[in-house]
Structure 1
C-alpha cells in the first residue's frame, strides 16, 4: 500500500508503484541482466521475480506443473463463474479448454473477417461519411467502438451497424454495444464496491446476458451460427448427456447474480463454466485488440515511411482498395533455481522458493537487446527477416497461450487494411506541443496506464482521405 502512494518506481531500488512497461524496462537496464527480484519490506510478503529471458520464459510456459498460474490474482474475472483464464490444475483447465476450443473455428474466423470489414467500412462510409479529414482526441475511442461491434457480431451474433446501435431497444436503457462496454469496464467495481451497492451494475449485467440470449434464440432460425456464443452453447448441448444435465440458456443469467461457492452440483458447475467463459470472451475479445490497434495507429502516424510501406503492400494485394468479404503471471510450485547471465557474461544462479511470485515480463523480453537489434526502433520489416521466435510472445506461449489469437489477428488485420487503404494517419498538431521533439512526441503518444490490459492514455490522431 505504501508503494502505491509513491508516484514513481526508483530504478535500482524497486521502490514505488510497479508500473509494468516503461519503468521495469529501466530496471532491466540498471541491473544489466534479464532477471531481477523484488523483496517487499511488508511482513510475510514473498519474493517476486521479473523475467525477460527467452529461454527461461519458454521453459516456464511449457512446464505447467512446475510453474503454475497464480489464479488468486484473477478474482476480478470470476464475476460470472470460473473460466478458461482463471483456472489451473490439469483436469479443471482441460474441461474449460475442451468446452471453449470448438468455438474458435475456421467458420468463426471467416465471420470475424467478414464482420470486421463490414463494420470498418460502415464507420468510414456512414459515420465519417468519407470526409477528407477526421480528427480524434484519442484513437482508442475509434478502436474500442470497432472492437465492441465486432465482438457483438462475431462473438455474440448481434449483427448491427453504427447507426442501428444508436437506437435503444424498447424496454432497455442503453444500446447493446454500450451494455457490453459497461460490463467490461465496470468489472473492477464488483471487486472494490460492497455487494449492496452494486444493484445498478447487476441490473446492467443481467440486461447484457438477457440481450445475448434473446439474440441467440432469434439466430436459431438462421442457417449461420458461427459466433462464439452460439458455438459455446451448442457445445453445451453436445457435452451434456440427458435432459437433466443439459443447460437451458436462461441458466446463464443466474450465475451473474450468484457468488461462487464450493460443492456445486455437476449441473451448476456446467452453468458456471459456460457463463464464465462467455464473459471472458467478451473481456478478452475487445479491449486487448482495441488497445493494440490504437498503439499501432499511433506508431504508423509517428513513422509515415513505415505507413507507406504498409499502404503499398495493401494496394499491391488489393488494387481497388476493397477487401474480399471472407505480462504473464506465474508462481513457483516447488523450490527451484533460475540461471542467467549479465551483460558482461557473468553467470548468475538465483534460488526460487516455493510460492514465489513471477512475472514473465513480455515488454522486457520484446525490448531486450540480447534478442533484438535496435529494440526501441519501430521496424515492422524485422518480422519479414529471420527473427527470434522465442523472444516474441504477444499471446503468451505453451498450452496456456491465448485461445483467441486467430480471432484477434484476423480482426486487427482487416481493420488496419481498410483504414490504411482509405486514410493516411498523422499525429494531431496541437499548439501546446509545437516545440516538442520527435522523442517527446513518441513518448507522449505511447504513454500507458494500468488497466485490465495496458491502456493508452491519449493518442490524438488525424485521418486524411487518400
Structure 2
C-alpha cells in the first residue's frame, strides 16, 4: 500500500507542468471532487440535468472542471469563452470523438467535419444558404403551414386540444423535406420514421451499445440506415442523370455548386452526408425553437398582442411575399428571444487538440470543453432581466453581442437564415388565423438531451380569421 507521503507527491506532481520554464504550477478550474460525481451523474440520468448544471454554475462560477478520471470536461457559462473557442482559437477546439456517433448517420457533412474538408464544403454550400437564395422557398414553407392550419381549424371548431410540440415537429419535417428534396412521394412516411430513429440512435448524447454488439436497436439502426441510404442515393443518381433539368430545391443547388478554384463540385458521398445533416439540423432545431416560442407567447400576452398587431398590419393573405417578411421585425425578434431562453443546442461540446488556458486555468489536450448557451443566454452579466421574455431586445443591435444560439465565428450555423425565414412564416401565418391558449401542465417537461426538447405542449385553439 502506498504511503501518505507518496500520495502527496503524486498530487504535487499532477499540479506541476514539466515546461522548460521550470515547472509552473497548473491552475485547475474549480469543480466538484471525485466523491460527488457519482451522485451528480445519477441525478443527471434521472432527469435532473438542468438542476445539476445550474448548481455547478452557482457554486463554482463560469468555468467548472469535471474530472471523471478517464476524461476531463470543462463546462463554460461565459460568452468570452464562447468567442475564444469559436473565433480566436477555433483550430484548437474540434469536433472529435464527441461526434463519432453522429458520423454513423451524417458522415463528414458540415456538422461533423473539420479543417480543410469543412472549409471546402462550407465554401461550396454558402451560396445556396444565403438569405437571398432561401427566400425563394417562402411559398413552399407557406404550403406546409397550411397543413397544420387545417388541423388547428378543426381543433378550434370541435374544442379539442393540440400538441404544439408535435405540430411544430410535423411542419418542420414537411418543410425540410419539400425545400431540400422537393418532396419524397411514396417514401415519405417510412423515410421520416427511419431518419428520426437513426438520428436519435446516433446522437452524441446517446448511450446506445456499439453496433458490433448486435443489440435489437443496433440491428434496427442498420436496417433503417440501409433504407435511408437507398432513397437518398437514388435521388442523387436521378438528379445527376437528369441532364441539367432544374428541380428548384436545395439538393439541386448543392449538386450544381462548384468550387471557384478548380470548378469541381461535391462527390455523391458528400452530397448524401450533407442531405442527412440538413435533415436533422433543419428539422429538429427549428421545431424545438418554435414550440418553445409558442409557449412563451402564451405566457406573455403583451408580446403576443404585439405580434398579432404586426401580423395584421403586415400580411394581407396567407401567401407572404419577400416584402412582407421584411415587415415582420417583431416576429423575428420573438423567435430570437425564444431561442435565447431555450436554445436547441443547449450544450455545445468540443474536443481540445492542444494544451490551452482559459482565464488562467489549464485546459489539457484530449479533454473536452462544453459551452452552455442555455446559461450564457441567461447570464445576468450580459442580459437585463435574463429570465424574462422580452422580444423587444432585438429591435436594435445591442442584443446581438450576447446572443449565441447560432454558434459563432466561421462555423456559425449555415442554416440560420433558413431557420429565421421559416419561423417568420410559421409564426405569422398561424398568428394571422388563430390565437392559442396554453392548457397544459404549469411546468412542461424539458428534455435536456442533445437538443432542448419540450414534452407535450397542450393548447386550445381560437380562430381569429377564417381561411
Give 1:293 shift.
Answer: 0.6
Question: What is the aligned partner in structure 1 of residue 384 from structure 2?
Answer: 373
Equivalences for residues 295-334 of structure 1 within 5 A: 295-318=292-315, 320=316, 322-326=318-322, 327-334=347-354
Distance in 2 (CA, whole Å) between partners of 1:464 and 1:188 is 34
Question: What is the aligned partner in structure 1 of residue 59 from structure 2?
Answer: 30
Q: Is the 8 A contact 1:134 1:462 kept in 2?
A: yes
**Does residue 297 of structure 2 align to residue 282 of structure 1?**
no
Mean Cα deviation higher: 209-218 or 197-206: 209-218
Mean Cα deviation higher: 49-58 or 62-71: 62-71
Give 1:239 shift.
Answer: 8.8
Closer, same or farther: CA 211–66 of 1 in aligned 2, 3 Å? closer
Distance in 2 (CA, whole Å) between partners of 1:221 and 1:274 is 17
Distance in 1 (CA, whole Å) between partners of 2:63 and 2:243 is 52
Distance in 2 (CA, whole Å) between partners of 1:314 and 1:412 is 13
Question: What is the aligned partner in structure 1 of residue 251 from structure 2?
Answer: 229
Q: Is the 8 A contact 2:255 2:265 kept in 1?
A: no
Give 1:314 shift.
Answer: 1.3
Q: Is the 8 A contact 1:107 1:226 kept in 2?
A: no
Equivalences for residues 180-191 of structure 1 within 5 A: 180-189=192-201
Closer, same or farther: CA 219–421 of 1 in aligned 2, 3 Å? farther
1:189-231 residue CA offsets vs partner (Å, 9 max, x unmatched): 46646366245313431453256448757987865x4421111
Q: Is the 8 A contact 1:332 1:355 kept in 2?
A: yes
Distance in 2 (CA, whole Å) between partners of 1:305 and 1:399 is 37
Distance in 2 (CA, whole Å) between partners of 1:20 and 1:395 is 22
Q: What secondary structure does 1:179 align onto?
A: helix
Equivalences for residues 141-220 of structure 1 within 5 A: 141-158=166-183, 169=186, 175-189=187-201, 192=209, 194=211, 197-198=219-220, 200-209=223-232, 212-213=235-236, 216=239
**Does residue 87 of structure 2 align to residue 75 of structure 1?**
no
Mean Cα deviation higher: 190-199 or 325-334: 190-199
Distance in 1 (CA, whole Å) between partners of 2:180 and 2:409 is 25
Q: Is the 8 A contact 1:237 1:246 kept in 2?
A: yes
Between the two proteins, the alignment pairs up a number of residues equal to: 392
Closer, same or farther: CA 23–127 of 1 in aligned 2, 3 Å? same
Q: Is the 8 A contact 1:108 1:228 kept in 2?
A: no
Give 1:58 shift.
Answer: 1.2
Distance in 2 (CA, whole Å) between partners of 1:370 and 1:214 is 52
1:56-95 residue CA offsets vs partner (Å, 9 max, x unmatched): 2212211245532232111232235311111122x22212
Question: Which of 409, 423, 443 pairs up with 1:412?
Answer: 423
Question: What is the aligned partner in structure 2 of residue 8 from structure 1?
Answer: 43
Q: What secondary structure does 2:357 align onto?
A: strand
Q: Is the 8 A contact 1:62 1:399 kept in 2?
A: yes
Q: Is the 8 A contact 1:76 1:187 kept in 2?
A: no
Equivalences for residues 336-375 of structure 1 within 5 A: 336-339=356-359, 349-375=360-386
Q: What secondary structure does 2:163 align onto?
A: coil
Question: What is the aligned partner in structure 2 of residue 261 from structure 1?
Answer: none
Question: What is the aligned partner in structure 1 of residue 454 from structure 2?
Answer: 456
Q: Please give the root-mean-square deviation of Cα atoms over the aligned residues, in Å.
A: 3.2
Distance in 1 (CA, whole Å) between partners of 2:159 and 2:282 is 26
Question: Which of 407, 411, 422 pairs up with 1:396?
Answer: 407
Question: What is the aligned partner in structure 2 of residue 291 from structure 1?
Answer: 288
Gaps of 5+ in 1: 10-15, 160-164, 170-174, 248-269, 340-348, 434-440
Distance in 1 (CA, whole Å) between partners of 2:149 and 2:229 is 33
Give 1:182 shift.
Answer: 2.2
1:218-251 residue CA offsets vs partner (Å, 9 max, x unmatched): 987865x44211111122699987xxx888xxxx
Closer, same or farther: CA 94–138 of 1 in aligned 2, 3 Å? same
Question: Which of 401, 423, 427 pairs up with 2:438?
Answer: 427
Give 1:110 shift.
Answer: 1.8
Closer, same or farther: CA 4–180 of 1 in aligned 2, 3 Å? farther
TM-score, structure 1 normalization:
0.74
1:394-439 residue CA offsets vs partner (Å, 9 max, x unmatched): 110001110111111111110000111111111126xxx6xxxxxx
Closer, same or farther: CA 81–236 of 1 in aligned 2, 3 Å? farther
Closer, same or farther: CA 324–65 of 1 in aligned 2, 3 Å? closer
Distance in 1 (CA, whole Å) between partners of 2:271 and 2:306 is 43
Closer, same or farther: CA 121–4 of 1 in aligned 2, 3 Å? farther
Closer, same or farther: CA 240–67 of 1 in aligned 2, 3 Å? closer
Distance in 2 (CA, whole Å) between partners of 1:126 and 1:457 is 20
TM-score, structure 2 normalization:
0.74
